[in-house]
Amino acid sequence: MAMTGVLRPGHAQVRVLELDKAVAFYRDVLGLVETGRDAQGRVYFKCWDERDHNSYILRESDQAGIDFFGFKVLDGPTLDQLEKDLNDYGVETRRLPAGDLLETGERVRFTIPSGHEIELYATKTTVGNGIPTINPGPWCEDSERGIAPVRLDHTLLYGPNIAEVKKIFVDVLGFYLVERVLGEDGVSEAAIWLSCSHKVHDIAFAEYPEPGKLHHCSFLMDSWERVLRAGDILSMNKVPVDIGPTRHGVTRGCTIYAWDPSGNRFETFMGGYQPYPDYEPLTWTFDNFGQGLDYPQRKLHETFLTVVS
């Protein structure tokens, strides 16, 4: 697939209750790489194998949750075009100046009907992954500290009006539907998995009455063994685990869900198949969503449906 338009998830800004505790958790247990702090007190992290300056930003607040989720687009003209396309569709956008987020260019921000803030941007300073670009080795010191995911993979957001959200992502931003769970009526979509790439999902949404909620941000591991090792590290550090290690029926991904010290759920994840935009989306019926969520146990975990930040 020629990569044009929206390239990939680029960053998430997540609210945490106690910054120092959160920084220690994400640095030492999750094993992210701290790359900077700004005048607003925000702390910037990246996963070890990401090459751009930051992907996961912590902001101290009295309420956990997500401030915004951003996608990197191909280049400046693409950013301008997508902004115009959003406006033509009726989505209001606003520009945030370059440097507002450390080492990041101008961002186009908009609110989607689920109540979430989504951003597009074209530039972020390349800092590399700790491995040279000439005769690179396969890993480095940062890849062996803590859980050490390779990249920020996707997010699942809970909010209302996901049918409208889907139209914006598919009709305007060039995403395609990979999988969906039908509601009890057998017609409406209760949850959707959307891709802008060759991955099983770059963003997902579930219908939920309260707007703007975070279900989880997901971090990619490069093997099932590394997911199991993540489970060991979570237990060694007494981190509250929600689900797993197990495999989803939806996306075929292998997963562990757990909570950070502020109650934000995160996922350590690997696998899934490689979809293309011409594939027919896969559908899960409402009565079988337990298998979609946890394939071996066929269990509809109550927390998955009700606990968000």
Mark whether 267 is an active-site residue.
yes
CA distance 68 to 109: 9
Q: Least distance from C-beta 100 to Fe ion, angstroms? A: 28
CB of 250 to Fe ion, least distance (A): 9
C-alpha closest to that of 95 among 84, 139, 219, 103: 84
- Tell the smallest beta-carbon distance from residue 234 to Fe ion (Å): 16
H or E, element range at 70: strand 65-73
- Sites of contact with Fe ion (CB under 5 A): 218, 267
Clarify whether 248 is annotated catalytic.
yes
Instruction: Compute the least distance from the CB of residue 204 to Fe ion, in Å.
Output: 7
Q: Which amino acid is at 100?
A: D
201 is annotated as an active-site residue:
yes
Residue with the CB atom nearest Fe ion in the bound state: 218
* Annotated catalytic residue 257: yes
Say which of 56, 121, 158, 257 is annotated catalytic.
257
Secondary structure string (H, E, C) spanning 107-134? EEEEECCCCCEEEEECCECECCCCCCCC
Residue with smaller CB distance to Fe ion, 105 or 149: 149
Candidate list 11, 154, 208, 215, residue with the active-site label = 154
**Active site (annotated) includes residue 116:** no
3-state secondary structure of 73: strand
What is d(CA 116, CA 67) in angstroms, rounded to the nearest whole number? 8
User: 82 vs 178, which CB is nearer to Fe ion?
Assistant: 178
Alpha-carbon 277 to chain mean position? 20
164 is catalytic: no
Instruction: Using the minimum distance from each CB to Fe ion, give the nearer residue, 189 or 267.
Output: 267
Say how many CA atoms lie within 13 Å of 38 toward its Cβ: 15
Q: Which is nearer to Fe ion, 53 or 248 (CB)?
A: 248
Burial of 32 per CB tally in 10 Å (0-12, 13-18, 19+): buried
Q: Looking at residue 104, what DSSP letter applies?
A: B
Closest approach of Cβ 156 to Fe ion, in Å? 5
Q: Which is nearer to Fe ion, 55 or 218 (CB)?
A: 218
The single residue of 116, 201, 207, 215 carrying the catalytic annotation is 201
Check 83, 106, 189, 267 and give the catalytic one. 267
Alpha-carbon distance of 161 to 63, in angstroms, equals 23
Active site residues: 154, 201, 216, 248, 257, 267
